[in-house]
Every structure is written in C-alpha cells, then in structure tokens.
C-alpha cells in the first residue's frame, strides 16, 4: 500500500500528514516515518485497542507515536472513532504498547479458557465461575464478554486468529530484543 505504484508514499508531499493505524513491526513503522519525512510529510503511528464492536460504537483506544503536534491536531478525528488516545512517544512506542496490550489480552483469554475447561472437568458450574470472576478482582470487560460465550463453545471471532498470532509473534520478538522474558507466552 505504501510503496506500490501510485501507493500512499506517491501522494506524500510537503505538509501532508500520514496517520497509520496498522499494527506492523516497530522497524516497519520507523522506516515508514523516514520515508514520509523524506518526502516532506508528517507521520503518526496510531494502532488501536478494540475490535469490531468497539469500532462500530466509536469506543477504540488509540495509541499514538511520532509527531506529537499532529497527535494534538487530530483529536477531533480520533474522537469520532475512539473514546481515548494516548501519546506514547517516538515512532515505535505506540506499536510496542499495542503489542504489550495484545500480549496481556491473549494471556488473559488463554487463562480463561483453561479455567473454564478445569471447572467443567471438576463438575463445577461455568455460570458460577463467571459470577465469581465478574465480581472479583479479575473482573474485566473481556472476561464478561468472552466468558459466557466460551463456556457455551461459541467462538465467533471479532479479531481473526491470524492477526492475534502475528501480534503475539511481534510481541515475543520485542521481548527477546529487549532481553525481557515473558514465560507465560
């Protein structure tokens, strides 16, 4: 999309702004920023937290990095699609934040699946498990949404597994490059 004939970079001229909401590798975002700047443009990476339903409801959370002034200038546009935007620092920081968020979400969903399976194996009510989870320290919108569906073996996806896998792979690459172990993943 960026580099193809008549791609996005072909349209970048001095003063034009590019706001990229994709979740790519950090080095891809850094390269894109350099290419946009080389053409006189401005660049802001802006991956989101939220899937289909939050997008439809304007409840995305934007994590941005790069041109901080541009972040401030597009608050109205971000507000039309999301409930919040957080400026994370230089390009790469928003991607890293998104990858950490998705790593936590993946680990949470894996733990929920294992808990439901264990509850069922022990003859416990998954509805009771959900009740305890919803009222305790583990309560979260993700558990409240996914728990009852998972207990009924309803696995409709709002975020394709191939993208979740990509994000987990990228997060693990970032962990490895930083020297930080993430043994739960």
Which residues belong to the active site? 98
Q: Among all chains, which residue has been given the structure tokens 């998705």?
A: 102
Report the C-alpha gap between 155 and 171 in whole angstroms. Answer: 24
The stretches of 82-160 forming alpha helices (DSSP H) are 93-121, 126-135, 141-151
The separation between CA 17 and the C-alpha centre of its own chain, rounded to angstroms, equals 22
Q: Which two tokens stand for residue 181?
A: 């172990």
Strands 60-66 and 42-45: antiparallel
Q: Among all chains, which residue has been given the structure tokens 């939220």?
A: 50
Q: Which two tokens stand for residue 41?
A: 């443009």
Residue 91's nearest CA partner among 67, 112, 71 is 67
Q: How many CB atoms lie within 10 A of CB 45?
A: 31
């Amino acid at each position: 999309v960026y580099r193809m004939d008549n791609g996005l970079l072909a349209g970048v001229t001095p003063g034009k702004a590019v706001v990229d909401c994709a979740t790519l590798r950090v080095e891809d975002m850094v390269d894109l920023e350099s290419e946009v700047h080389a053409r006189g443009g401005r660049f802001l990476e802006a991956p989101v937290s939220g899937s289909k339903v939050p997008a439809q409801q304007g409840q995305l959370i934007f994590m941005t990095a790069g041109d901080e002034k541009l972040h401030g200038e597009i608050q109205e546009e971000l507000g039309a699609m999301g409930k919040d935007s957080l400026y994370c620092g230089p390009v790469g920081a928003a991607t890293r934040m998104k990858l950490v968020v998705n790593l936590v979400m993946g680990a949470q969903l894996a733990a929920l699946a294992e808990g439901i399976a264990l509850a069922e194996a022990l003859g416990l009510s998954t509805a009771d498990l959900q009740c305890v989870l919803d009222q305790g320290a583990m309560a979260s919108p993700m558990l409240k949404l996914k728990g009852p569906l998972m207990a009924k073996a309803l696995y409709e996806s709002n975020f394709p597994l191939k993208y979740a896998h990509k994000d987990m792979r990228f997060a693990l690459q970032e962990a490895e490059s930083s020297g930080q172990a993430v043994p739960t993943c």
